[in-house]
Amino acid sequence: MSFREFKKTTEEVVRKPIQGTSLFNEYIVTRYHVRLGPQIFSTNQNLTDIRIESHNASKTVSAELLKEKPYILSNLRQEVNDQRKKERKSMFAKDCFHRTPYSANQRIAYHNAKSN
């Protein structure tokens, strides 16, 4: 087993209250789970919410721990970037992102129709 290993991606629904009302907005947040040594870290896409996952709960990582062990943040950043790159590659591989170029006759017909 390597020191750094990508475990999984999860999606959570987060409720954020609208200020001054009893209403709230719901957002879908993607979390990336990465094993660094014996611990599993969970983070969002922007690395603003980093947690240490355990069997029954998660604990927010303190700023002191990140200053003490800077390799945590750099390894998390690298794994999240690699995973996002894979996600974008699979998304853009779908048929809806591939258009066949127009033939010469179609371009001529289009320009002729514009001038009529």
Number of domain units in the chain: 1
In a domain, 68, yes or no: yes
**Which pairs count as long-range contacts for 79-88, CB under 8 Å and 24+ apart, including other chains?**
79/4, 79/6, 79/32, 79/34, 80/32, 80/34, 80/43, 80/45, 80/47, 82/6, 83/6, 83/9, 83/32, 84/45, 87/9
Phi, psi (rounded to 5 degrees) for 8: -165, 170
**5 conformational bin, left if phi > 0, alpha if psi -120 to 50, beta if neither:** beta
**Tens-place pLDDT, residues 46-97:** 989 999 988 888 899 999 999 999 999 999 999 999 999 999 999 999 888 8
pTM equals: 0.70
In a domain, 99, yes or no: no
Using the structure block, give the residue that is written with the tokens 């979390």: 31
Q: What is the mean pLDDT of the chain?
A: 88
In a domain, 91, yes or no: no
Residue 68 is encoded by which pair of tokens? 């003490």
- Which residue range is the domain that position 54 belongs to? 3-83
In a domain, 103, yes or no: no
Give the pLDDT confidence score for residue 2 in this predicted structure: 62
In a domain, 97, yes or no: no
